[in-house]
Amino acid sequence: MTSASSSDNPLDEFSLIRRYFHHQPHHAGQGDSVSMGPGDDAAILIPPPGQQLVMTQDTSLEGRHFPADMAAADVGYRCLAVNLSDLAAMGACPLWFLLSLTLPEVDEDWLAGFSHGMFELADAAGIALVGGDITRGPLAVSIQATGAVPAGQALRRSGARAGERICLGGVTGAGLHGLHLWQQGRRDGPAIDHFRRPQPQLELGQSLRKRASACIDISDGVLADLNHVLDASGGLGAQLDEAALPLDAAILSDCDHQEQRRLQLQGGDDYVLLFTLATDEPIPAGCHVIGHIEEAPGIRLKTMAGEIRSLSAKGWQHF
């Protein structure tokens, strides 16, 4: 957020909520499960019969998760996208979300842009905003999203087994590279687009139910998030094949080989799915096999030269 409100009489909290956050869902059926949305002490929701609810929450802070000079519409889109990516990783269909917004001031241009970007993705994904909270302070966006899966079919981090293939739902490295370019003053191009507007892989996640043995979305980098799967699956290990790592050469063309590898494996901000598949499962279209699960703990890389090197599961860490 870069500019202050020019209004002499800023909107009060309730008018602001009515103006920017009472949104009529565009999607057929979106909102049908909402008995009471924003406006009462809490939302009243109708869980889909026979389904389990899946809940997640991620907070995005200015300067930590998105740059202070990012357009408000992109901030709105991105903050919802990172939460939808967690629903995708569980194989869930999005239903409802709560928005907790901390604003330094009432800037109506910013709010109009933010809500526009957020609802653009909400409508595309079929998720309804059902409530939230607004307070004053340094800009922070916290979203709690709920989805549903048929009972017993949610994807977990914990089901990987030795011998299974490790797959990626898309290329990695573009997100953090986009941030680096942003920090160098660039404002357009495919890597920047990837960083500004990550595309949660909801359809892929849903298609992996009853097929993938484990799944996670990559927010902290391939190695760090693969390591969560290995830990959750009982302390297994993995071997990755350097030659098989998907690389969008156009996106990472301005990086040397070592930087490309670092971004691909440790970048973060990717929001593609990483999942494990038994050897008889077909590989979904657009996905890449990057290695396999092994009994021996730790992550190893088979290099282009055929050497096996140990890798540390380093990735993004807040502390």
Ligand X SMILES: Cc1ncc(C[n+]2csc(CCOP(=O)(O)OP(=O)(O)O)c2C)c(N)n1
Ligand Y SMILES: Nc1ncnc2c1ncn2[C@@H]1O[C@H](COP(=O)(O)OP(=O)(O)O)[C@@H](O)[C@H]1O
The residues binding ligand X (CB under 6 A) are 58, 63-67, 82, 176, 179, 219-220, 268-269, 316
Q: Is 279 annotated as a binding residue?
A: no
When the beta carbons of 5 and 57 are compared against ligand X, the nearer one is 57
Query: Minimal distance in Å, beta carbon 6 to ligand X?
Result: 26
Q: Is 110 annotated as a binding residue?
A: no
- Residues linked to residue 62 through DSSP beta bridges, in sequence order: 66
- Which phi and psi angles does 56 have, rounded to 5°? -145, 160
Q: Is 316 annotated as a binding residue?
A: yes
Query: Minimal distance in Å, beta carbon 30 to ligand X?
Result: 24
Nearest Cα to Cα of residue 272 among 167, 182, 189: 167
Q: Is 248 annotated as a binding residue?
A: no
Query: Minimal distance in Å, beta carbon 266 to ligand X?
Result: 10
Report CA-CA distances (Å) from 155 to 49, 204, 211, 319: 19, 12, 9, 28
CA distance 79 to 143: 7
When the beta carbons of 58 and 270 are compared against Mg ion, the nearer one is 58
Q: Are 96 and 63 in contact (CB under 8 A)?
A: no
Query: Using alpha carbons only, what angle is made at residue 96 by residues 92 and 98, rounded to the nearest 5 degrees?
Result: 125
When the beta carbons of 192 and 223 are compared against Mg ion, the nearer one is 223
When the beta carbons of 83 and 239 are compared against ligand Y, the nearer one is 83
Query: Minimal distance in Å, beta carbon 145 to ligand Y?
Result: 11
Query: Minimal distance in Å, beta carbon 58 to Mg ion?
Result: 4
Query: Minimal distance in Å, beta carbon 20 to ligand X?
Result: 24
**Helices within the chain (DSSP H only):** 13-21, 72-89, 108-125, 174-183, 190-196, 202-207, 222-232, 257-266
50: Cα within 13 Å, side-chain hemisphere: 1
Nearest Cα to Cα of residue 76 among 174, 173, 143: 143
Query: How far, in whole angstroms, is CA 301 from its chain's centroid?
Result: 26
- Is 74 one of the binding residues for Mg ion (CB under 5 A)? no
- Name residues whose C-beta falls within 8 Å of residue 17's C-beta, 6 or more positions apart in sequence: 38, 134
Q: Return the residue nearest ligand X (CB atom).
A: 268
| Residues numbered 43-72 forming contacts with Mg ion, rule: CB under 5 A | 58
Q: Is 133 annotated as a binding residue?
A: yes
When the beta carbons of 34 and 265 are compared against ligand Y, the nearer one is 265
When the beta carbons of 67 and 159 are compared against ligand X, the nearer one is 67
Binding residues for substrate: 65, 269, 316
Binding-site residue set: 41, 56, 58, 65, 86, 132-133, 157, 217, 219-220, 269, 316
Positions that interact with Mg ion (CB under 5 A): 58
